[in-house]
Amino acid sequence: MWSWDQGRLDYFQFDNLKKIARFALKHDLRSEDHDALVGAVGLPFSPKQAAYKPWRNYARTFKSMGLVYQNGAVAEPTVIATLLADDGSITTDEYFHFLAEYTSSPSPALQGWDNTADLRYPLIFALKFLLAKAAKGLEQTTLSEIGSAYDASGFTGEEDATAFEALVVSTT
């Protein structure tokens, strides 16, 4: 459910997304060197090695943000990258709405992508699960609890509120 993150939450901060998007519009993230990207964004993009371009370690992150897609040997910026790069064109709420619908399991940003597989939407699932718990007066939820309910339920995230309320009852 959370394999796309791998502890890179700083890279998903809205201001940092905007910086990465601006860079992606002017540079090919797939072939760009470390120093230029670090200078433009202000994040480490580790490791720093001459023969080790940031794309090797961050392609999944860039793709899961919805900023680029790979077109042969080039990383092409998306429409979302264009919007993020233009101050005032998209709000954090609008981006989060996009991300909730864009983030799927399996994901085209991860290895083993199968475009014929049935998609699940983990962020939509998490939001609906949290709302169902709140409706039952349950104010605290752990990430582990969300992940366990996601794995056990088989829900896609497209189920209605009644289904999520029943899931909350069965998991608490």
pLDDT tens track for 15-31: 999 999 999 999 999 99
- The structural domains of the chain, with segments of one domain joined by +, span 9-102, 122-171
Task: Output the average pLDDT for the chain.
Answer: 91
What pLDDT was estimated at residue 91? 95
What is the SS3 string spanning 135-170? HCCCCCCCHHHHHHHHHHHCCCCCCCHHHHHHHHHH
Contact of 16 with 43, CB cutoff 8 Å: yes
CA distance 10 to 107: 21
| pLDDT, position 20 | 97
Q: Which residue in the block uniquely carries the two structure tokens 């752990």?
A: 142
